Amino acid sequence: MEKHTQALPPHSPLHSPRSDSEALSRSPSLPQPAAVQLTSFPSSRTTPASDLYSAPRASGGSHCLSPSTVSDQDDLTCLSWLHQRGNLLPLQPLPKITTLPQTLDPIPVQQLLSSTDKPPYSFSSLIFMAIEDSPEKRLPVKGIYQWIVDNFPYYREAPGGWRNSVRHNLSLSKSFQRIHRDKSQSVGKGSLWRVCPEYRPALLEVLRKTHYCHHTNSSLLNKRVL
DNA sequence: GTTCGGATAAACACGC
DNA sequence: TGCGTGTTTATCCGAA
């Protein structure tokens, strides 16, 4: 195959390795939205939340790291809002928002969206959600696939290329770590993946912003149309 | 116009 | 041998 570039492309991994993760690592310094009311998304979709989350977690596995309090809900590290399954609906592409309003008036997103829309989440965010949603906070690639198709019907019918993208993201991003299973230290089937703790806040921030942008859009749309 | 992040495709290696 | 997994490279596109 003929190469069209004389030099390395601007964002070639060789030219700018891990630039995505570096960007992520910078993002915690980004300003926080003043009022992110993520908890008001509709609840429960494919699996009843009670089925998934009412049971005691594995040891050390309080899903949100600590008992839920008001301050916890605002904590950047708290994912309790994520575990309301309705939050994970497939959403429309995000609007461009330059300024963040101080108040939100969210409405259920199912009223506006088709379940077959492509989710606005990046693959990194999808992987992050999948792993965070697992009791052990670690998943094999297959488990990540499964979580995505379970939660986003779009990927149920999408061609298989997205799986390649998932693997590509896992390999390329510093945000995710491969955990070798006991014996097989080499590349092969069955490695587990987890979120690097140091990148978790950044991933969470990206996710919250995605929610926030869509949320705001839905709210505005609701007020304008309905 | 440039840079960057993300998505996608493809090739390849490896292990089961 | 085939398939799934993991890595790497290349390219395209949209946004900043």
pLDDT tens-digit profile of A103-134? 333 333 433 345 567 888 889 989 998 998 88
Between A171 and A216, the higher pLDDT residue: A171
Q: pLDDT (tens digit, 9 = 90+) per residue, A44-103? A: 333 333 333 333 333 333 333 333 333 444 444 555 555 554 444 444 444 433 333 333
| Averaged pLDDT for residues A200-210 | 81
CA gap A178, A136 in Å, rounded: 14
The closest nt to A20, taking CA to C1', is: B5
**Rama region for A137: left / alpha / beta (φ>0; ψ in -120 to 50; rest):** left
The closest nt to A97, taking CA to C1', is: C15
For residue A214, the model assigns a pLDDT of 54
For residue A161, the model assigns a pLDDT of 86
Q: CA at A104, C1' at B13: how many angstroms apart?
A: 50
Q: Are A169 and A115 spatial neighbours (Cβ–Cβ below 8 Å)?
A: no
Among A48-52, A139-143, A145-149, whose mean pLDDT is lowest? A48-52
Q: Is the pLDDT of residue A150 over 70?
A: yes
A94 Cβ nearer than 7 Å to chain C strand: no
Q: CA at A12, C1' at B1: how many angstroms apart?
A: 19
**Terminal CA-to-CA distance of chain A, rounded, Å?**
54
User: Domains of chain A by range and CATH?
Assistant: 34-45+61-180+190-225 (1.10.10.10)
The closest nt to A159, taking CA to C1', is: B8
For residue A212, the model assigns a pLDDT of 63
When pLDDT is cut at 50, 70 and 90, the band that residue A167 belongs to is very high
Hits for CB < 7 Å against strand C across A residues 146-185: 163-164, 167-168, 170-172, 178
Nearest residue to B11 via alpha carbon and C1': A1
Selection from A106, A104, A71 nearest residue A87 by Cα: A106
For residue A116, the model assigns a pLDDT of 67
Q: Is the pLDDT of residue A15 over 70?
A: no
Task: Match 């906070």 to its residue by tokens.
Answer: A137
For residue A210, the model assigns a pLDDT of 73
A191 Cβ nearer than 7 Å to chain C strand: yes
A65 Cβ nearer than 7 Å to chain C strand: no
Q: Are A196 and A146 spatial neighbours (Cβ–Cβ below 8 Å)?
A: no
Nucleic chain B contacts, Cβ below 7 Å: A 10-11, 16, 19-20, 22-24, 121-124, 159, 161-162, 164-165, 168-169, 183-184, 186-189, 206
The closest nt to A158, taking CA to C1', is: B8
Q: pLDDT (tens digit, 9 = 90+) per residue, A20-46? A: 333 333 333 333 333 333 333 333 333
Q: CA at A198, C1' at B8: how many angstroms apart?
A: 28
| Averaged pLDDT for residues A176-199 | 71
CA gap A108, A104 in Å, rounded: 13
For residue A121, the model assigns a pLDDT of 86
| Averaged pLDDT for residues A123-146 | 90
The closest nt to A188, taking CA to C1', is: B15
For residue A153, the model assigns a pLDDT of 84
Most confidently predicted of A8-22, A35-49, A161-175: A161-175
For residue A211, the model assigns a pLDDT of 66
